[in-house]
Amino acid sequence: MPRGRALVVDDSAPVRAAVAETLRQSGDLEEVLEAADGLAALRIMAEAKPDIVICDLVMPGCDGMQLLRLRSAKPELTGIPVLILTADTELDRKVELFDRGATDYVCKPFDPRELVARVRVHLRLKLMAEDLAAANEKLVRLSCTDPLTDLFNRRHFNNVIDVEVARLVRYGIPLALILADVDYFKRVNDEHGHQVGDEVLRSVGTTLVRSVRKADVVARYGGEEIAIVLTNTGTAGAFVLAERLRAAVERSEVRSGDRAVRCTASFGVAAADGPGDVASASTLVARADAALYAAKHAGRNRVVMWSVELEEQD
């Protein structure tokens, strides 16, 4: 199955055509592009993102060495392997090519079988590295995602809150935490079944994500509890946002057959306006939790801010 695209760079049209034709006939590639000098090659590399470049060393204007030099300044291009075609038999020159970032070289006049074999090896390595990077990215995403709601999970929440508290303590960047809990969630499960209960949780999650700002982190904290980390937000901003979230959840509904299931949620908010307000993530979580408890106690479907007085009431 041909996969990947090659770019052949040579100032000599006959050599370029011969190299390109050899690669096309190998059947390894989906497409073979061509360029007559290094600058045109760099442009094509940036636009078409070929998977491998086979480049002549000696060209008028921007030659192979120059192409390697210019490529090394562009991080987005350094992952593309470059094979240099060289008539040069001098050892120093070849070593220099590798120092400049060449992946390999092929001597001219080239043997088609050797060229195809080397292109095949480097193409395979490049595509494998890409597949691995994509798989890693997927794993990272999975490792911080809650499978039911598609929100961030508790593990990611813990990381984010630790980092944000450190930024608060070190740089004084304000931080707020909202803990939201779906009201009478057990009743939803009992009356409509767990599938509808799951759907309600997903729907509340989506509503919250849509209502926060891009930098805010919405995570499933556990059960029917959702945590929202508000970066760079102090007491006043956190209260306004929490109230907006509460109203949004109250307005939303989930369809269950021909019935609409509605729910509300209670919100506990704890904010730190300056570095002296909170020293650890666990303190902030405990405060938001105490405020959430107070919101439940006061009748649910409401927002309660943590305060010293709140603690004293208990």
Residues of this chain that bind Mg ion (CB under 5 A):
11, 56, 58-59
Cβ at position 88, least distance to Mg ion in Å: 11
Q: Is 312 a catalytic residue?
A: no
Catalytic residue among 31, 224, 225, 243: 224
What are the tokens at 240?
């306004």
Q: Where are the alpha helices (DSSP H) in the chain?
A: 13-26, 38-48, 64-72, 91-99, 112-143, 154-171, 185-192, 194-211, 235-251, 281-297, 308-313
Cβ at position 87, least distance to Mg ion in Å: 8
Q: CA-CA distance, 94 to 117, in Å (whole number)?
A: 19
What are the tokens at 171?
């740089």
Q: Which residues is 85 bridged to in the sheet? A: 56, 106
Q: Where is 268: in which H helix or E strand?
A: strand 265-272
Cβ at position 70, least distance to Mg ion in Å: 18
In this complex, which beta carbon is closest to Mg ion, that of residue 19 or of residue 304?
Answer: 19
Cβ at position 36, least distance to Mg ion in Å: 10
In this complex, which beta carbon is closest to Mg ion, that of residue 11 or of residue 104?
Answer: 11
- The amino acid sitting at 50 is P
Strands 259-262 and 253-256: antiparallel
Cβ at position 15, least distance to Mg ion in Å: 7
In this complex, which beta carbon is closest to Mg ion, that of residue 56 or of residue 273?
Answer: 56
Q: CA-CA distance, 48 to 125, in Å (whole number)?
A: 19
Q: CA-CA distance, 216 to 45, in Å (whole number)?
A: 36
Q: Cα-atom radius of gyration of the chain, to the nearest Å?
A: 30
In this complex, which beta carbon is closest to Mg ion, that of residue 56 or of residue 225?
Answer: 56
Cβ at position 60, least distance to Mg ion in Å: 8
In this complex, which beta carbon is closest to Mg ion, that of residue 62 or of residue 278?
Answer: 62
In this complex, which beta carbon is closest to Mg ion, that of residue 55 or of residue 295?
Answer: 55
- Measure CA 33 to chain center: 31
Largest CA distance in the chain: 88
Three-class HEC string of 163-185: HHHHHHHHHCCCEEEEEEEECCH
Strands 175-182 and 225-231: antiparallel
Active site residues: 224
